[in-house]
Structure 1
Amino acid sequence: MTVKIPKNATIPTMKFESRLTTVVDNQPNLKIAVYQGERRKASANQLLGTLMFEGIPPAPKGAKVTTSFDIDTMGNLNVSVKDKTSGWKETKSIPGVGVKGKLQLASAEEMSRQGEKHKSEDEEHLKRASITKAMMEYTIMIRENAAAGDFSKNVHSAFEDAVGKMLDELKEKAKEFGSEYDTKKSATVMSTFCGIPFRKKDWIRKNKN
């Protein structure tokens, strides 16, 4: 979760832009959930709305899209998604966000207090989330490489088993952190994680006997 429109922003607001990339080939859509609050953990904030953008032009994963956020004079939150290569763009709105209504369902003061109270807890959550994200990205990379190449069914099956065991082990390590999770342990796991060959030919070479 990242902050797009800071607290105490005047209305109408300017556009706050950020860049994203697609995560799979020919990704057709993008879902954006919008929250209000000061917690770094999305589920701990107030959900204002969820928007689904359809029709992203087909392209290899990694295609760049730009998202922008602004609140107009009527208090509507406008969210736009634009594909930088094709020029495709779509805008959707959540009405009444910046006027008396949704933003007043919880006081800004209370949100600020909750944000400060849970600051340490939220920082720990972010560290764990970074490991989880890295695992997901690495898993996708592994699966793609496992599917490539002309290998026998037995070799492919053995490779998949090895990959599964590796991921299970790393997930268990992440669970062990608990309240003692720290940057040093995070660095250790990431070092181990990134040091494991993900290419099938590397695995075969190391396990040929």
Structure 2
Amino acid sequence: MSASDSFRDFNPQSGRLDEFYQEHLSNKAECRHLWEVVKLVLILSHGQASVERGFSVNKEVMVENLKEHSLIAQRVINDHVHSVGGLLNIAYTKELFLSAASARQKYHMYLDDQKHLKQDEKKTQKRKGMMEEITQIKAKKKRMEEDLRVLMKSADHNAEKAESQGQLSFLSKSNGLRRAAKEKERHLETLERQLTDKLQELKDTP
């Protein structure tokens, strides 16, 4: 049986892959380098023991309400202790003591940074909300201006028909449309004041 037939007919359910590769690659000079690579691949660990150990360590160091940064810091410390072979092998350097001495100061600096970030986020959200309100007012103002234009055009049209045809019904309808247009104008003035106030408020917001 040729090598190609052997590879094609290999059944991983009934045969061992390592024995198969050893049989077909180890004794062939042209496959010497390939066989070295295959051996390295075959000895790689396919388990998740290291990941599972990580979860176990997390469970050991976690306490109630532990924040993410604190958990990461404890894991870094834990991993370093294990990497040097225990607490007795840790090198207590000058830099380590200085870092420990300034830990509280760094913590307060971190709290200040977080406070400023929250304040900035609050300001950003406020500006975003104001801009959305301004957009809504502008859209409403535009619709009302279009309604006003249509009302006035219709009122003028009915007035012209009343004059040309001499029918008072058209004049009455024209007057009604003009009253509706006046009401729209008052609402439009209110919207314009609201828009002016909002734009000024947005300008004054830091």
Q: Same fold (TM over 0.5)?
A: no
Q: TM-score, normalised by structure 2?
A: 0.25
Q: Which structure's CA Rg is the greater one?
A: 2
Q: TM-score, normalised by structure 1?
A: 0.24
Specify which structure has the higher proportion of strand: 1
Specify which structure has the higher proportion of helix: 2
